[in-house]
Amino acid sequence: MCGIIGYAGTEEACPILLDGLERLEYRGYDSTGLALFTKDGGLLRLRAAGRLSALRRCVTQRLEQGADLHGNAGLGHTRWATHGAPTKENAHPHRSQEGKYTVVHNGIIENYAKLRGELEAAGIRFASQTDTEVIAHLLEQLDTGNPLETLRRALPRLEGSYALGVLYHAQPGTLYCARRQSPLLAASCVRGVLLASDAAAILPFTRTMFRLEDGEMAQLHANGAIFFFDAQGRALQKAATEIARHTTAADKGGYVHFMRKEIAEQPECLARTLAPLLSGGEIHLGESEAALENPGGIRRVLFLGCGSAHHAGITGRMLVEELSGIPASAELASEFRSAATAVDRHTLAVIISQSGETADSLQALRLAKEKGARTLSVINVEGSSIAAESGSVLYTRAGLEVAVATTKAYSAQLAALCALAARLGALRGQDPARLRDFVRSLAALPELAREVLADTEATAHAWAQELQSVQHAYFLGRNLDYATAMESALKLKEISYIHAEAYAAGELKHGTLSLIEPGTPVVALCCRPEVIPKTLGNAQEALARGAKLFCVTNRQNPLPERCLTLPPCHPLLVASLAVLPMQLLAYHCADLRGCDVDKPRSLAKSVTVE
């Protein structure tokens, strides 16, 4: 959600900014822009609604018209619209009225309406509907001639979240930045300095970078020097972070879409995630073991996440209760702060996030810590904000995930949660033989996943041909199958725009059955052995009312039509296998409908606002 790239140094800035924006495309956006200090000291701004290709065309046109784009410093931005439609006028960067300050911003300024009213009363004319433009005008109103001091004075006036990149008209070789509750990185390399909201934009230049913390500011100079300051303007000494280099986001590996490539990568991702955790038929969580010290003191495990991460948490809840006997629950991170949840020092709070920057999950983590809970995050991005603030971190090893709809990161989360549940069971003295059997099955999961992907591709495509023209679809399941149904419905609706809902199968007759009419697609997930007969009974109720029934099972075909059969597996691992053909189903539906599979409308990869 929104992306910032800044550069100052010895190279041409425009190509670096454009390439950086391309590496940030996976986050989701609907307009783009850049501001560039030109050789003559001027400040040129180019913006476009839509994809980055539109901004590249704008750059090409300006070059053909003789514009000077040969500068060595500037800022770029990909915007995901919040305040104001995704138009050129609302695209970043935004300028102050007299052009002294140019700003890019990730986050939301919650008191922007009040500030805008004050600025308009002072004679300021606004050119956009955004909350960000308020920042540029406020900086100019408070300008002291010293941009850092001006920034320090302005920040306390801003309520909400922000990652800011700032250019000052009289200092063409310098970038300024500040952060509160939205990620921001700074780095120095042989070519100069870089500023970015995501490591992906910096990694082509260096793996060493600095993470700004809440309330911090920085001043970046083209000669490679970076100076950090606290909220009072006092100089700070910061330690650099070493970030692992991701697979390039530009490589689809021969696939038409990143999502299809990432679905295919899941067996390798599972193997990478599990390899450091499995040893000699047992599970050890490495540095994450610190969160499990004195396991008898853990009386509750609370899973917190949003979207697919929440579905992974629901699965984790069931796994923890079955394998360790510890009571567990899963809550939406976005609802956690408003719920009267009993959390204390006997709670292990597990925060799940692919990016590690999910704003609601970060706030939930902070609240859990305030209440005294132990915290363990399950994260895919090394050095992210949630990872930095958690008591312990259990990293998944999915690599860079480009498609907005998560696939391989979700599978890696499930694998990590399987390991966590088994480790808690061992520490709590649960049946060793049962745990050994589960761990052996978990070790075999990558190969089973490979088999499922190969064997179900054709069936998933055939089902998609039947579903591509429908308006509604329903997914049914019980227990672990219900968690899979929730994730399956989300996948279908977020990329194909087919309205899809998931129901605990036993709830079908408590209202939803009235929506089933001849031809309504119903996908029944029947993989958890203990509940298959009951789920089949609910599926038959839908079938009797004319539903077009699709069944996913790991048993012999229990229904007369449309059955996708998975290989037998451990009953607690069914969620990890059943979700794979459902990802393929969603992918093929979206592809057949001509949807933008990797960048579904209105969605962002990393949701950094609440």
How much of the chain exceeds pLDDT 70, in percent?
96
pLDDT score recorded for residue 507: 79
Q: Which residue has the tokens 């920057």?
A: 357
Give the separation between CA 524 and CA 474, rounded to whole angstroms: 8
* pLDDT of amino acid 39: 81
Is the pLDDT reported for residue 549 higher than 60? yes
pLDDT of residue 247: 40
Pick the catalytic residue: 2, 14, 177, 551?
2
Write the DSSP symbol of residue 213. P
pLDDT surpasses 80 at 1: no
- Cα(126)–Cα(9) distance, rounded to whole angstroms? 32
- The Cα–Cα gap between 450 and 310 comes to 25
3 state SS for 320-338: HHHHHCCCEEEEEHHHHCC
Q: In one letter, which amino acid is 362?
A: L
Segments of the chain assigned to CATH 3.60.20.10? 3-242
Domain 3-242 matching CATH 3.90.1150.10: the answer reads no
φ, ψ of residue 553 to 5 degrees: the values are -150, 165
Residue 249 pLDDT: 45
Average per-residue pLDDT in the chain?
Answer: 90
Average pLDDT on 539-562 reads 80
306 is catalytic: no
pLDDT at 593 over 50: yes
pLDDT, mean of residues 30-47: 87
CA–CA dist 310, 332 (Å, integer):
6
Q: Of the segments 93-102, 197-206, 516-525, 600-609, which one has the largest average pLDDT value? A: 93-102
Residue 248 pLDDT exceeds 80: no
For residue 62, count CB atoms less than 10 angstroms from its CB and return exposed for 0-12, middle for 13-18, buried for 19 or more. middle
Distance, CA of 29 to CA of 58 (rounded, Å)? 17
Judge contact between 298 and 374, C-beta under 8 A: yes
Q: In what order do the strands lie in the sheet with 563-565?
A: 499-504, 472-477, 521-526, 548-553, 563-565
CATH 3.20.10.10 fits 457-597, yes or no: no
Report the pLDDT averaged over residues 148-162: 93
Confidence of residue 375 (pLDDT cuts 50, 70, 90): very high
Write down the pTM of the prediction: 0.78
* Residues 455-513: tens digit of each pLDDT: 999 999 999 999 999 999 999 999 999 999 999 999 999 999 999 999 988 877 787 77
Each residue of 55-83: pLDDT tens digit? 899 988 888 887 878 889 999 998 877 77
Rounded alpha-carbon distances, angstroms, from residue 141 to 62, 162, 167, 275, 512: 31, 19, 15, 56, 57
| Separation between Cα atoms, residue 98 and residue 540, nearest integer Å | 70
Please confirm, yes or no, whether 491 is among the known catalytic residues: no
* Architecture of the domain spanning 257-443: 3-Layer(aba) Sandwich (3.40)
Non-local (6+) Cβ contacts of 433 within 8 A are none
Residue ranges, comma separated, of all CATH 3.40.50.10490 domains in the chain are 257-443, 457-597
Rounded distance, CA 380 to CA 401, Å? 9
Range 118-131 burial, b when 16+ CB lie within 10 A, else e = ebeeeebeeebebb
Other CB atoms within a 10 A radius of the CB of residue 250 amount to 10
pLDDT higher than threshold 80 for residue 245: no
Catalytic residue among 100, 408, 491, 605: 605
The residue length of the chain stands at 610
